[in-house]
Amino acid sequence: MIKKLLAFVLFASTVTLVGCNTPTENVDTINDQGKAVMQLDYRDFDRAASEMVQSMIESGTFKKEGGGRYVVAKGRIVNDTMQHIDTDQLMGKVEQELTRSGLVAMTAAVGADNTPKDSLVYSSRDLTRDSDKADEFNKDTVQAKGQLIAPELSISGKIIQRNIRYDNGKQQVEYYFQLQMNNLTNGLVFWQNEIVLGKRGSDKKVPW
């Protein structure tokens, strides 16, 4: 019995060591030539975000009468796919490229579902003005009322997934990235675009 136990322990240790020493491959996220997958990966979000922002810029959407930059708020992005994805992954890249362009200013004070992107925008005001700790703050550094800038535009959209099966054991998965820029003053749609990413492979691969 003891011999069997020792043999098992040695075998388990060997398996563990082999598993730990299994070589891994670092992914070059700048120039990833790895095999495409049926699910959405970071390359898909990078491509969709870049093409969307380029379309916005080329459309002249951000040419503001009188000059200056539009203030933009992030609206609701609906995930209508079979995958548990965080839509902020797409919008984070869109906002990053928009901000980098210098054509707009993203607001952290207003967001989808009446939730600010940064809760400190309001909680810092509550703390420094009306709380029992307000007297601890230098009044000259407390944000004055009426300083927040209201957004003029908002971005909203949807990510849709469609699966198409073929007779030869293949399937095609289509992902539709839809975004639109809305004018909050008059409700008009300033810009909208749709980008379709298609993937084809074995119908045994589950795209979620």
Burial of residue 9 (number of CB atoms within 10 Å: 0-12, 13-18, 19+): exposed
pLDDT of amino acid 191: 96
- Residue 8: what residue type? F
pLDDT, tens digit, 9 for 90 and up, residues 75-133: 889 999 988 888 888 888 999 999 999 999 999 998 887 778 888 898 999 889 889 99
Model pLDDT, residue 38: 78
**Residue reference for tokens 């589950």:** 206
Domains for the chain: give ranges and CATH numbers.
37-131+148-202 (3.40.50)
Percent above pLDDT 70 for the chain: 80
- Residue 182 has what pLDDT? 95
pLDDT, residue 31, reads 62
pLDDT at 5: 47
- Give the neighbor-by-neighbor strand order of the sheet with 170-183: 104-111, 70-80, 153-165, 170-183, 189-202
Q: Is the dihedral of CA 76, 80, 86, 88 positive or negative?
A: negative
Q: Calculate helix-pair angle for 42-59, 88-101, nearest 10 degrees.
A: 40
Distance from C-alpha of 127 to C-alpha of 115, rounded to nearest angstrom: 18
pLDDT attached to residue 8: 47
pLDDT for 34:
61
Residues 104 and 149: their CA atoms lie apart, in Å, by 13
Give the residues of the chain that fall short of pLDDT 70. Answer: 1-36, 204-208
Rounded to two decimals, what is the model's pTM? 0.75
Residue with tokens 């030539």: 33
Instruction: Give the span between the Cα atoms of 117 and 115, in whole angstroms.
Output: 6
Query: What span, in angstroms and rounded, lies between the C-alpha atoms of 71 and 152?
Result: 5
